[in-house]
Structure 1
């Protein structure tokens, strides 16, 4: 018989008046995460979004519509339900209201797993996790879903399966699904290219991803790649040493996709 979860005990561990974005608590031997959506007042972001939305920029570069706390909670729950309905692992939600979601601890975060392997000097196993994550993301896209920001820290392992967390963006509402998925892929390889420890890992991850990725997604991804390739090729030629971390990621991801598209 499943144990009843004492929500009052979980809520009782939130200090009065506190609005911490993310907090973990332990109740009856189980760990829970409390995620609040009323902590970030971003009027500047909302204004910027309105300005950008009317500019002649590529559709895939647009951000999800800004929403209030209740809208953010609804979006997170909606995407969790969509992923779970297909069979993908997500954190189990035990409570939600207009400003917060409480979920049971999902499992071992891939970022923590990779950190342990880095510290142990196991580069092969470390990079294999990136390839595993790429494969599962391909399955997500083949199922018609979009994560929104598939960073390694937003993935976890439960048993042998990789699951997903933190559905804070919904690009599929402001662009065609193929471009929203291609944006997912682009962002994933931005992160993965920078995390890989061994040469060739990016290409291996790409091969695993494309085992399942939809054809229309790959066409959309070519458009995103072509845009960034034109933007950054002078910097790649110069091989500037003062790259910011974001620019370094873009350059590395560009090299992975350039090599991949050249072969196809």
Structure 2
């Protein structure tokens, strides 16, 4: 399954870069968030590939969900797809937008890939194994290296959202004490923690499950964890929520290994 994810992320990333180079119109969805041809074409590629390879597993994809297209039941396992995470970065000609594909099983993000086609950064994770992947100019995988989250040591390195920072996030970072802050867009924040390039990613702004599942899967595969503010692991497949819409996340903190862990 992970090999299929990687293949589809590369194919979708190639299409995203075609649109990025050519330029495209920017439309607004009902929630006023931007959407482009790159979002739509990337999602078509990913959904076609997943549904051909795994027809029995439901798909939850951002643009289909925005259009009201949703499987009536998810069962024990389903795919979460964000075809272009960081559309604002894409529109503003920044480089850290990503293609995200994840498998959720029993509420846990189990397998995931995050591909940043503009920079070539590519991460994958499955239970017990997380990797950073190197590709060549033809989108062919040429190398893999294992990654592992680290136990945080002061001063902590914190990754924060470039486009969606909040006063609550700033207050949390200040409370950590001396900390180096790295601002980056999209789900790469999870991957920087997974790869021991950062220690903690606090998110006190709104996210949806397709924004976080793939990066969270990579982080958990690398030994880290994403927890809600009450300390529970962030769960997926949240529907019929009394206080929010389907698949909306609460605030969370993603971090590397606890001090003293292996």
TM-score range normalised by the length of the shorter chain? under 0.3
- The structure whose Rg is larger is 1
TM-score (norm 1): 0.28
More helix, by proportion: 1
Task: Name whichever structure is richer in strand by fraction.
Answer: 2
State TM-score, norm by structure 2: 0.28
